[in-house]
Amino acid sequence: MNTLRISLLGADGRMGEAISAAVQNNTDLTIVARCDKGGALDQAIAAGDVAIDFSSVEATKDICEACLRSKTTLVIGTTGHSTEQRKFIETAAKSVPIVFAPNFSVGVNTLFWLTRKTAELLGPDFDLEIVEMHHRLKKDAPSGTAQKLAEILSEVRKLDVQKDVAHGRHGMIGERPGKEIGMHSIRGGDVVGEHEVIFAGPGEQLTLTHRASSRETFAHGALRAARWIVGKQPGLYSMEDVLGLPS
């Protein structure tokens, strides 16, 4: 059995540590290089069959360029990318296969699928609200997962995710517009991650909820993506592609 060689970027972070621990329980995987800020990025990436990135969005451009130079497959788990940083990823994906996902949990990616189907079934009579909670050290808001949920709902409702998402509310704001998605970010304690999508209609309410209690679930998902992506054609793939969820 061939061993999949992994270059781990952001190795000293919370997710880097979780992936390192998960790899120890998988005989078909090995971490051949670990890299953090200031490390030898090109050398680390070239050593592996696949690079798993949980570093920072500031490193996105350099990581994409290094993967292009060595033709190394890439799995990206960092969140909070700007439009420009996303363009770096999209450009690189034309030459190397990339899995780009805001969340590697199997449950969360099922939540993405259910959110789309629920929005399609319930139609425009239901108001849409997203609530997410994470630990007090998380730097970006809303979370990448919450942003992805907003993008899914916007696509179904044909809304503009930049203009039609209300990030919190304060003061005399008037009645809630029908064409609006509410977004609420809570930070505190050591919460790994909680997401709710609320569909509030006339006389009834439906809520889809996912709660993560351990980073282990994200680590196993990232490793599953790493196994899946190696050998694929260049392109930008999602975790839904990895799981084979129907479109």
Residue positions annotated with a catalytic role: 134, 138
Write the DSSP string, 194-242: EEEEEEEETTEEEEEEEEE--THHHHHHHHHHHHHHTTPPSEEE-HHHH
Closest alpha carbon to 58 in 81, 89, 35, 38 = 81
Residues with Cβ within 8 Å of 17's Cβ and at least 6 positions away in sequence, in order, are 11
Q: How far apart are CA 35 and CA 16, in angstroms?
A: 10
Decide: 111 and 84 in contact? Cβ < 8 Å. Answer: no
Backbone angles phi, psi at 172, to 5 degrees: -80, 85
- Contact assessment for residue 52 and residue 222, using Cβ atoms and an 8 Å cutoff: yes
